[in-house]
Amino acid sequence: MTAVKATPDPATVIRSGPLSWVQQWHWFERTIPAPRRVNPTPLADHCHVPPPATVSDVHMALASLTARHEALRSTIGPLRPVQRVHRPDWAPLPIDHVDVPAVDAGTLEAATAALAARPIDPERNPPWLARVLLEAGKPRAVLIAAHHVMIDGWGLAVLLDQLHDRLRGADGPAETALHPLDAIAEQNLERARLSECEWLARLADNPTGVLAPFGGIADGKGRHRLQYRSVEAYDDLDRVARRHRASPEIVVLAALAHEVATRTGEHRFLASVVVSNRARAALRTSVDVRALTVPVQIDLQPGAAFGEVVASVATASTAGYRHGRYRPAELVAAWSRQDRRRGVVAIPTIEFNCYAWPRGYLVPTRTTPPGGDATWISSAPDEPCETLYVDFSRDAGFITLDVTVGDHLLDAAQAVALPERLCGLLHALAGGAECPVLSDPRTPAASGWWRAPQGWACLTTVEDVLQSHPGVLDVTVTPSGGTSGEGDRPHLVARARVTPGVTIDELHQHVLDHLGDVPGLLTPGRYILSPAEHGTATGGSSVPPMSSRLAVTTSERALAAAVAAVVPDDSRQPSYDNPGSVDMNRCLADHGVTLVEIPRLLMLLRQSGYTGIAADELAGTVSLGHLAAALEPFPPRAHHGGETSS
């Protein structure tokens, strides 16, 4: 790979400014440890090199695109969400060349994956890498990997399309390219707040944990990734889309909703759908980051034919698309606060993404067996995934479904069967079947699961979390509610035998601190405590308001000082000027701190000599006190002689 500058030269910067709201999310995402990320970083794809283009032509085309798109020549700040645009010649083009025996499907996939695995440092270097594959000395394909903070999936497709056009001698787009800094002026605060309110309302109004009782493995903490390709489903999908006068993307989302309803018996749940936010013509030729997820309300009627499902999903998608411009940092913070108030982590049942652009730039090669299907799967037992992610694309006579799912939702066999079932449904529909929505689940919920108003909760999981508190000797958790003296809203009742001094407030805080880590967890609505020795049980009809607690230990004081230092001015209260006033029983979002401040907070902790917590843990529902308990001092440095020093 061509060497690039170790640090950007300030003299090469031609303009600078803040990151857009969308960029801020990806700027934060890069600080999350790789095993804990679900979205691939960086993005990578390829295009073929049309004859008679040469290696020199590839370099000239990429140089031209770098001049056109500021996103390709921008760097970002390490601790604050800022971007700096450099001159087109500020650094050598990050291109290398690799000789391969043949540019076939296997070579392309392996080479693209290898390039995607290379680190990209957008703080110091161009936010992209390119690799030219040479066959017998001639360029056959160009691979590009790009950091998500500057380019999204749609943007990468635009970039490759424009690269391919230049290599075949076509004129570039007539429209002037819009750039990441141009997006700042377009951000509408009032519209963003309305979209954030819509998201929060949908999250509170839909069940969480929909898939977990009907599949997966007990105590699953990992995930499966698989890709399924089908030639036959390509024509089936076309026929179904024409029959119902809907786009192929809407039909696939409707099929996915139909499958979830069939598996679980739930007919109303939330889908998170990625939209490109590129409705204007000028945006369709720009490569910068604009895509966000929108809330799509799935609301199916038992017995409805598939055509009604398609119509319902299409209407809901149109409504959801209005809410694609918001502040992810503010939404994540408000989401965490809402989850703590409700005592459950709200997760959309599915996240759906589709690559709807024409990809004529791909290397012309068949990537599935003739008329057949192909599947690969990989599993990581210690990489979490909270929901079911499905990416759909349609290219060159076949469809591709990429699935990522937590193993507590689907086990490996169920994950492999999911795209097969979706394509089987499309085949039946293409043959004229109506495939009505079933009223009841295909199989009953697993033992121990209870359908609460907030969603599905696992009673044994709630018991295990309470039992993990050192002051709990034994505990049982049962559903209650709807009876005299219990209130009208169903809830969980925890009956625990405890050591002296253990309070309801303490136990409730303990459960709250595990919400984001333990699937199937719901806070009890009532606690009944019995002392270890014979005595009178205590308890109330509801959980009392959470008490405050100040920092006590050294690690708590270090975290409190870091929190006080990063609280934004518009959220700052007089008490935050004093680290001793930071409430350790609240989460970071309760103090007005969003994910934008987390990189600086982690830096302050390192300066205080502490590590041990991940960026995404800080952005969640966990209290500061629980986070402080997980902090670890930096290990002492070792001298060459093997002895250590503090």
What pLDDT does residue 414 have?
Answer: 96
381 and 502 within one domain: no
* Domain-embedded: residue 644: no
**What percent of the chain is modeled with pLDDT above 90?**
75
Mean pLDDT of 341-355: 94
What pLDDT does residue 482 have?
Answer: 52
* Domain-embedded: residue 216: yes
255 and 240 within one domain: yes
What pLDDT does residue 41 have?
Answer: 66
Dihedral sign of CA atoms 546, 550, 555, 559 in order: positive
Last residue of a domain, one of 182, 198, 231: 182
Distance CA 97, CA 49 (A): 13
What average pLDDT does the structure give for the chain? Answer: 90
Residue 637 in this model has a pLDDT that exceeds 70: no
Last residue of a domain, one of 480, 515, 539: 539
Higher pLDDT, 99 or 369: 99
List pLDDT tens digits, range 440-493: 998 999 999 999 999 999 999 999 999 999 999 999 999 986 544 445 689 999
What pLDDT does residue 485 have?
Answer: 46
- Which residue spans within 167-252 are E strands per DSSP? 223-230
What pLDDT does residue 362 have?
Answer: 64
Give the CATH number, domain containing residue 120.
3.30.559.10
What pLDDT does residue 542 have?
Answer: 63
Residue 155, domain extent: 10-182
496 and 349 within one domain: no
Distance CA 367, CA 100 (A): 18
Question: Comparing C-alpha atoms, which of 594, 604, 566, 602 is closest to residue 582?
Answer: 566
203 and 77 within one domain: no
167 and 35 within one domain: yes
423 and 502 within one domain: no
Q: Residue 638's beta-bridge partner residues?
A: 644
Burial class (CB in 10 A: 0-12, 13-18, 19+), 425: buried
Question: Comparing C-alpha atoms, which of 345, 244, 382, 288 is closest to residue 19?
Answer: 288
Residue 363 in this model has a pLDDT that exceeds 80: no
Confidence of residue 37 (pLDDT cuts 50, 70, 90): confident
List pLDDT tens digits, range 78-111: 999 999 999 999 999 999 999 999 998 889 888 9
| Range name among 12-16, 296-300, 327-331, 546-550 with the lowest pLDDT average | 546-550
* Domain-embedded: residue 508: yes
Expressed in percent and rounded to 5, the helix, strand and coil fractions of the chain are 35, 20, 40
165 and 237 within one domain: no
Give the CATH number, domain containing residue 232.
3.30.559.30
Q: Which residues, 6 or more positions from 242, have their beta carbon under 8 angstroms from its beta carbon? A: none
List pLDDT tens digits, range 220-260: 889 999 989 899 999 999 999 999 999 999 999 999 999 99
* Domain-embedded: residue 548: no
List pLDDT tens digits, range 185-203: 989 999 999 999 999 999 9
- How many structural domains comprise the chain? 4
Which residue type sits at 18? Answer: P
pTM of this prediction exceeds 0.85? yes
178 and 41 within one domain: yes
Residue 635 in this model has a pLDDT that exceeds 80: no
What pLDDT does residue 636 have?
Answer: 64
* Domain-embedded: residue 436: no
Q: For the chain, how far is it from start to end, CA to CA, in angstroms? A: 39
Given a contact cutoff of 8 angstroms between Cβ atoms, the answer to whether 456 and 445 are in contact is: yes
What pLDDT does residue 361 have?
Answer: 62
| Range name among 71-80, 174-183, 467-476 with the lowest pLDDT average | 174-183
Distance CA 154, CA 355 (A): 8
Mean pLDDT of 553-578: 80
What pLDDT does residue 551 have?
Answer: 93
143 and 34 within one domain: yes
What pLDDT does residue 357 have?
Answer: 59
Last residue of a domain, one of 151, 182, 213: 182
403 and 279 within one domain: yes
* Domain-embedded: residue 443: no
Confidence of residue 6 (pLDDT cuts 50, 70, 90): low
* Domain-embedded: residue 444: no
Dihedral sign of CA atoms 70, 71, 72, 73 in order: positive
510 and 564 within one domain: no
What pLDDT does residue 3 have?
Answer: 47
* Domain-embedded: residue 545: no
Q: How many other CB atoms are found less than 10 A from the CB of residue 506?
A: 16
What pLDDT does residue 2 have?
Answer: 46
363 and 486 within one domain: no
Confidence of residue 576 (pLDDT cuts 50, 70, 90): very low
What pLDDT does residue 339 have?
Answer: 97
List pLDDT tens digits, range 113-165: 899 999 999 999 999 999 999 999 999 999 999 999 999 999 999 999 999 99
Give the CATH number, domain containing residue 477.
3.30.300.30
What pLDDT does residue 302 have?
Answer: 97
